[in-house]
Amino acid sequence: MVAPKAPLFHPLSRRLHILLLMNVGSFVNMYMNVNIGITMNCMVNSTATALNNPILTSLNETIILESPFSNTSNSQIDEVVESQCGAQHKDGKPIVIDYGGSLVWDKSIQNLVFSGTFWGGLATCLPSIFLVQRLNPKWAIFATQANKALMNSLIPFFSIHLGYYFTFGARFMLGVSDAFTVPFYNSIITNWFPVAERSTALAIYTTGNQLAIVFGNPISAAFCQSRWGWPMVYYYAAASAVGWCIVWLIFGSNSPHECNKMTTVERIYLNENVVAKKTKEQRKSQKIPWVKMMTNHAFIAYLYCNFVITMLATFIMIYLPTYTKDVLLLSVLANGAFTSLPSAFNFFFKVTWSLLVDKLKANHIITPTASVKISQSLTNFGGALFFFLVVMFVDCTRPILAFVLFCSINLCFGAHISGAYTSLLSIAPQFTATMSSVGMGVSMVGKVLTPMIVGYFNTSVR
């Protein structure tokens, strides 16, 4: 007897409810990580930092300040942008775009603070590999989000009163949560969704990451320019996380077997099409085939793709606001808009592409293996092409070109979910949590290397 089909996109679909809840969770989770991309520019006194920079002060005795909080007119700023790049005014004096911050943190300190989450994740990824298969995903996700809410609420106090080492410590703890969050989310996806729906499920769940940029950056920029200032960004993020945690405890579920409210049709469908649920005792006693796992060609390919894409995505999410401020010379609100809109292209293409791929697989037009190869090729080769065009042709006189190219990069990255990410959940579903933890460890190495690479090449800073 063939199990009845229970559509994913239906008002009574319990797995759709879980998916949307996870989507909001990924939004809050990502926003608590990347809100520092915009706020760092608002926290730091760029003028004081520039005055302490021997490279700039050796060039000119005077530094011209361009700030959205100063009396500089738009025509003056336009004159600067349209005349020449390199942050030089028409009289040759270096320009500093200052968003009105008070902290005197040079670029090395900023890179250290940025890297806090990456070091936290890297330090915790090894123990997480052995723990994720044993812990309860629902409660573990709650604990990680609660920890991140607490750290975000403390960052303003740490930054203003205790110094950047404490801020680094708070972001380190954010990274500790990250080492567990993604593997547990992946485990829930595997428990709830058949293979034919996983590309779509992953796309919808992870679009929360893009929404955190699309809506988060403008919100952060607005708070920065408001009377509450940049600390409100972190309080808002913490409050959002607390609200989500409450809803998650009420409605979240590890698997269909633990869900009490579900239609009979959907329950039968999931029982027939999803990997069987293991008991708590079975999870704890289950042996992990480490040698086979680490020598599996498909898994190795996933790790490599994940490493590369993580580095590029980290660069865009963390450093694009600084790039638009220092290279494109944008104001704080323009910065928020510029850095948020490209992620919208990622959002729409990710969902559209995943629906198309799953439709083609369901109709047996392409195989699951072919679908992940095509998707990942679009991500890697397309992203490389547009990054190359940014390097070759973008400067402060071509902000529109920069915007188009960054939108194109984000569009290509949207196919990654239907590529390597989907393959991860299909290689060995019963070991998804452990394999995700290994992948997180590799991605954390890429994240840690990103600030080092940026710091190495970005030697002339404002």
125-153 tens-digit pLDDT: 778 777 777 788 899 999 999 999 999 99
Query: Does residue 288 come out as left (phi exceeding 0), alpha (psi in the -120 to 50 range) or beta?
Result: beta
Cα dihedral 447, 351, 34, 187 sign: negative
**The pLDDT of residue 179 is above 90:** no
**The pLDDT of residue 25 is above 80:** yes
pLDDT tens per residue across span 417-439: 888 888 887 787 778 778 888 88
The full length of the chain comes to: 462
Residue 21 in domain: yes
**The pLDDT of residue 54 is above 80:** no
Residue 77 in domain: no
**The pLDDT of residue 452 is above 70:** yes
Name the least confident of 11-15, 92-96, 248-252. Answer: 92-96
Task: Determine contact, residues 49/106, Cβ cutoff 8 Å.
Answer: yes
CATH number assigned to the domain comprising residue 171: 1.20.1250.20
Residue 83 in domain: no
**The pLDDT of residue 59 is above 50:** no
**Span 259-264, average pLDDT:** 84
Residue 392: give the domain boundaries.
Answer: 14-44+101-457
Residue 188 in domain: yes
Name the least confident of 27-36, 265-274, 324-333. Answer: 324-333
pLDDT score at 170: 94
Residue 95 in domain: no
Q: Which residue has the higher pLDDT, 76 or 283?
A: 283
Number of domains in the chain: 1
pLDDT score at 457: 77
Mean of pLDDT over the chain: 80
Residue 50 in domain: no
Distance CA 228, CA 219 (A): 13
pLDDT score at 122: 83
Residue with tokens 């002339």: 460
pLDDT score at 462: 43
Residue 341 in domain: yes
Residue 69 in domain: no
pLDDT score at 21: 94
